[in-house]
Amino acid sequence: MAERQRPRAKTIWPRMSAPFVQAVLAGHSSLGLAFAALIYLVCFSGTVAVLVHDFERWEAPVVAPVEAAGPDTAIATARSFLSGHPATEHIFISLPDINSPRTRIYAELHDGEILEGFADTDGTWSGPAQTPWSAFMLGLHIDLHLPHAVGSFVVGMTGVALLSLLISGLLSHPRIFRDAFHIRLGGTKRLQEADLHNRAGIWALPFHIVIALTGALLGLTTLIAGTLALAFFKGDVEQTYALFFPPALEDDTTPAPIPDLEAILADAAARAPGAELRMLRLDHPGETGQSVHVTMGYADKLAFGDSYIYDGNGALFHSEQVSESSLGTRILQTIGPYHFGWFAGWVSKLAYILLGAALTWVTSTGVAIWTARRRSKGHPAPVTERLWAATVWSQPFAYALSALTALVWPGPDPLLVWAIATGLCLGLTVPLGPVALSTGLRAASALLLTVLPLAHVLRHGADYADPVAWVINAGLLASAALIALSLAWRAAPERRTRMA
Amino acid sequence: MIDALVIAALVATGIAAAFVLRQAWRHPSAARPVLILAGWAAVSALVVIAAIALGSARGPAFAMALIPAGALALVATGVKRREANGRVARSRALEPSLRGAKIWRGIMRTLVAAPLGCVVSLTLGIAWTVWFPSDPQTRIVLGGVLVPVLWAGAMAWALTDDRILRPALTMIALTLAGAALIAIEGF
């Protein structure tokens, strides 16, 4: 009541006419409803994907973190891998960085097989890493596991819709400053959800805009590049991409020795003082047309770094310093770190998880406001209420179940488990109402998230070579506790009567 | 060391700026404009300091993530429980306008917001790429960034305007103008 007696202060927010705000609200509602499930899925999966490097380490905790890595590690890794796989087309060796203290290998063999994994601390390649769940959850965020061109377009369009919702959300909020600090729980469901929706939407707005814009751009890359190619290069997309990639050597499959990698890395280090080796890439190793690509990164830059390419004789034939590269190239190289929060280790990851969860929450409460409004007007939408409750709470459940399955029974594809679990949750909307769905799925999620770390300890033993497994296990237990707390809060007798 | 200091300063500034703004919001007085100015000035200054201390790309990235996180944490501490006074709280929020449920209007809006919005944003993005005086990479990337921004704006307009023909005709005109600009200059 005290709030009502407070004198109204002037606001600098432009006064908007009621019909305009109502029209924007109508557009905001219809777009939000149309894309709600997709936006929710992309935001939820994106929040989890921030930790993909750490979940990879959690799935393969037998690989110890690398304390210090440099040119010697990269060379040892290259030799170790190539000795077992002489028919290699390309090999990328990424050295430990702020995101992950592991030496990562990605290789394409002549027969098209792709191998990914981690080297041991001494650079030894001990086989592909078994991290199917991490690959599943990253793929779900990037292209929903649809054919890449289609999936990334859908995700990109979802980013555009999110950006559009941010615009209409701002325009439909004439009390943006007047309500800037109101978070009032209790009362009607609609007012409570509106407060949560608006506060999390406004105070994290810079983050929301950056995530939506970079996500849309990453998703629409194929469309934009394809359109440019149609307009200017007679449909040849390679010519568009070629503007951003260094020139390639002429293909010559005649066998040849691998050039002196020590000398090449020493030369690159001399050319980039203050930088450290980030990536060593060998194209067509062991052939006359081979090349060695060295990336030297700087601690104070988000861009990958300087690029030096050497031919099969070890002679430099192309270089590009990040300080001299075009603005466009530098922007392009910073989009990924900006989108995923991979620029400051745990600090940025934790901030991105908090803010990503806020964005996911904004999506969830948006639909809840719409259904509550319908109900308060005497036009409830019970099917939407059920579907939305199942959509929101199916994801923690399906993610936890797919992770648990991948851990204890590596046979089934995590994507299949996730799809079945999500489908099952949606199927439960037939017999169950929204309260039962929400309560049941929260309880099941909390249970699975509690079992998951215990199963991890049983599966791998408590003597982890990589201690990050403990961090992830603690995070899983904390998530379970949070969900259980939300259940307890929801079950309070006072809320049961007032929020119905 | 510098990183840690700037990180701490960014979170602290997010909290402090939100605190100062909340003081201004809670207690309207003569000092209110000063407090508002101080809150936003602190945020702006720290974004600049972060850019200088951590790098022109890294600094703003830190600021974009940490200042809102700090502010959100402070705002979350102000959670209040609505009084149980036996009355149903009334929302002062406006209701969305009722447009009727004509199917053709819905189809029209969808077509303008999605395919037409996509075409006009792509056309204008490419027109930018063609005309912007810079190297090809910068022209393409900036043109590419424009595409989702323009499409989002077009989508919002198409779904908001009660007269759907207005955004539709404007977007068609802009598409034609963009195509003409592309044809004139070439890549």
Best of B82, B92, B109, B166 to mutate (most A CBs within 10 Å, chain A):
B82
Predicted local confidence at residue A191, as pLDDT: 83
Tokens 């592991």 sit on residue? A102
Stretch A480-494: mean pLDDT: 84
Smallest CA–CA distance, residue A241 to chain B, in Å, is: 10
User: CA–CA distance from A331 to each of A50, A225, A325, B124, B142 (Å)?
Assistant: 20, 16, 10, 20, 9
Q: Say if the Cβ atoms of B55 and A18 lie within 8 Å.
A: no
Mean pLDDT taken over chain A: 92
Would you say residue A210 has pLDDT above 60?
yes
Strands A306-310, A291-297: pairing is antiparallel
Q: pLDDT of A53-79, one tens digit each?
A: 999 999 999 999 998 889 999 999 999
* d(CA A139, nearest CA chain B) in Å: 22
Other residues' Cβ atoms within 10 Å of the Cβ of residue A231: 20
Contact assessment for residue A433 and residue A375, using Cβ atoms and an 8 Å cutoff: no
CA-CA distances (angstroms) from residue B59 to A254, A344, A350, B31, B45? 48, 10, 17, 31, 12
Query: The tokens of A163 are what?
Result: 């950006």
pLDDT at A18 over 50: yes
For residue range A253-271, list pLDDT tens digits in order. Answer: 999 999 999 999 999 999 9
- Note whether A436 and A490 are within 8 A (CB): no
Determine the residue of chain A that is closest to B15 in CA distance: A203
Residues of A with Cβ-Cβ distance to B129 under 8 angstroms: 228
Q: Give the CA angle between residues A9, A15, A17 to the nearest 5°.
A: 135
pLDDT range class, residue A197, cuts 50, 70, 90: very high
Per the structure block, which two tokens stand in for B150? 């323009």
Query: Which tokens sit at A446?
Result: 């909390």
The answer to whether the CB of A196 falls within 8 A of the CB of A179 is no
Structure ipTM: 0.91
Of A31, A334, A494, the CB nearest to B159: A31
Residues 6+ positions from A338 with CB-CB distance below 8 Å: A210, A214, A302, B61, B64
Rounded to the nearest 5 percent, the helix, strand and coil shares of chain B are 75, 0, 25
Q: Across the interface, which of B26, B89, B129 has its CB nearest the CB of A187?
A: B89
pLDDT at A128: 94
Find chain A residues with C-beta within 8 A of B30's C-beta.
none
What are A406-447's pLDDT values in tens digits?
A: 999 988 999 999 999 999 999 999 999 999 999 999 999 999
Q: Residue B95: its chain A contacts at CB < 8 A? A: 22, 25, 373
Res A495: pLDDT: 57
Residues 6+ apart with CB under 8 A from B62: A343, A344, A348, B6, B7, B10, B50, B54
pLDDT in tens, A96-108: 998 999 999 999 9
Interchain proximity A331–B145, CB inside 8 Å: yes
Which of A13, A33, A171, A228 should we substitute to test contact with B (largest number of B Cβ atoms within 10 Å)?
A228
State how far the Cα of B47 lies from the Cα of A324, in Å rounded to an integer.
Answer: 24
Nearest to A328 among B71, B135, B159 (CB): B135
CA–CA separation, A44 and A396 (whole Å): 9
Q: What is the pLDDT of residue A500?
A: 43
Q: Residue A438: CA atoms inside 13 Å, Cβ hemisphere, count?
A: 17
Residue A316 pLDDT greater than 60, yes or no: yes
